[in-house]
Amino acid sequence: MKISYCPEKKLIGVKRQLEGQEKYEFDFLLRAVRIINTLDEPVHLVKYVFELKTKGETMKKIVYSEDVIKAKSKELQGMVDRLAIKQDDKVRETARQNNVLLFLGVKDFWEKENYTLNSLKPGQETGFRMEHFRILVEKPIDEMVFTVVYKQADETKKASIQIPIVEYKNKKEYIFPLKGSWLVFGNWDEAYNHRTMHSQEFGMDLVQLNDNLQFEQTHEKPNEEFKCYNQELLAIADGEVVECFDGIPENPSAIKMISNDEKRDIMEKSGFIPLISGNYAIIKHATNEYSFYAHIKNGTLKIAKGDNVKQGQVIGNLGNSTGPHLHFQLMEKPSILTGRGLPCHFTNLKNFAGEKISFIENSYLIVHAE
121 occurs within a structural domain: yes
127 occurs within a structural domain: yes
What angle is formed at CA 342 by the lines to CA 109 and CA 4, rounded to 5 degrees?
25
Same domain, 162 and 194: no
Same domain, 249 and 126: no
pLDDT digits (tens, 9 = 90+) for 152-208: 998 999 999 999 999 999 999 999 999 999 999 999 999 999 999 999 999 999 999
25 occurs within a structural domain: yes
What is the SS3 assignment for the chain? CEEEEECCCCEECEEEECCCCCCEEEEEEEEEEEEECCCCCCEEEEEEEEEEEECCEEEEEEEECHHHHHHHHHHHHHHHHHHHCCCCCHHHHHHHHHHHHHHHCCCCCCCHHHECCCEECCCCEEEEEEEEEEEEECCCCCEEEEEEEEEECCEEEEEEEEEEEECCCCCCCECCCCCEEEEEECCCCCCCCHHHCHHHCCCEEEECCCCCCCCCCCCCCEHHHCCCCCCEEECCCCEEEEEEECCCCCCCECCCCCCHHHHHHHHHHHCHHHHHHCEEEEEEEECCEEEEEEEECCCCCCCCCCCEECCCCEEEEECECCCECEEEEEECCCCCCCCCEECCCECCEEECCCCEECCCCCCCCEEEEC
The residue from 166, 193, 214 where one domain ends is: 166
pLDDT on residue 324: 86
pLDDT on residue 254: 57
Expressed as residue numbers, the domain containing 287 is 180-369
Same domain, 98 and 140: yes
pLDDT on residue 219: 61
Q: Please tell me the total count of domains within the chain.
A: 2
pLDDT on residue 259: 78
The residue from 166, 191, 212 where one domain ends is: 166
173 occurs within a structural domain: no
Same domain, 79 and 204: no
Same domain, 149 and 185: no
Residue type present at position 74: K
pLDDT on residue 250: 80
pLDDT on residue 223: 81
Same domain, 316 and 216: yes
The residue from 166, 194, 209 where one domain ends is: 166
pLDDT on residue 90: 87
pLDDT on residue 194: 96
59: left (phi over 0), alpha (psi -120 to 50) or beta: alpha
**pLDDT beneath 50, residues of the chain:** none
120 occurs within a structural domain: yes
Same domain, 206 and 156: no
Same domain, 184 and 131: no
Residue type present at position 354: G
174 occurs within a structural domain: no
Same domain, 17 and 131: yes
207 occurs within a structural domain: yes
Same domain, 150 and 209: no
Same domain, 145 and 203: no
Same domain, 287 and 159: no
334 occurs within a structural domain: yes
CATH number at residue 198: 2.70.70.10
pLDDT on residue 348: 98
pLDDT on residue 345: 98
pLDDT on residue 217: 64
